[in-house]
Amino acid sequence: MLDRRAVLGIALPSIFAVRLKRTRFKIGDWVQVVALPSYAASLGAAKDLRRRRAAWVCQQCLGGHFRVIYVGEDGRPEIEVSQNIAAAAGASGYSLSMEPECLAHSPFPDKA
């Protein structure tokens, strides 16, 4: 009969292997926003100004290249929005947590 530690020792490596396959993005990766997240439509229709502003920021990010600043436990990367978009939204900085399906890996964007 196996004790709890033995079962965890057998199960955890396979769980972590599946987890690593699901998480395609790492902090520091450059990504391009190729689709709007599923929540963007509901935010745009909200009565709350902050939510409508978040939907506007999502729309402005579409097609842009951004850096991943955080990856949540669920595998959703958080991107740092450009200063131009953040300033237009009335903020000094802005970040969005995006669904992985909305992002594609991108080479480092040229600044020239």
Q: Is residue 32 part of a domain?
A: yes
Listing DSSP states for 6-62 in one string gives HHHHHHHHHHHHHHHHH----TT-EEEE-S--TTHHHHHT-SSHHHHHHHHHHHHHT
- Count the domains in the chain: 1
Domain interval for residue 87 = 25-105
Residue 1 pLDDT exceeds 70: no
Segment 33-85, tens digit of pLDDT: 999 988 888 888 888 888 888 888 889 999 999 999 999 988 899 999 888 88
Q: Is residue 50 part of a domain?
A: yes
Check residue 112 and give its pLDDT: 42
Which pTM does this prediction carry? Answer: 0.69
Q: Which of 51, 105, 43 is nearest to 79 (CA)?
A: 105
Check residue 86 and give its pLDDT: 81
Q: Is residue 9 part of a domain?
A: no
Q: Is residue 112 part of a domain?
A: no
Q: Is residue 17 part of a domain?
A: no
If you average pLDDT over every residue of the chain, what do you get? 80
Check residue 49 and give its pLDDT: 85
Q: Is residue 110 part of a domain?
A: no
Q: Is residue 61 part of a domain?
A: yes
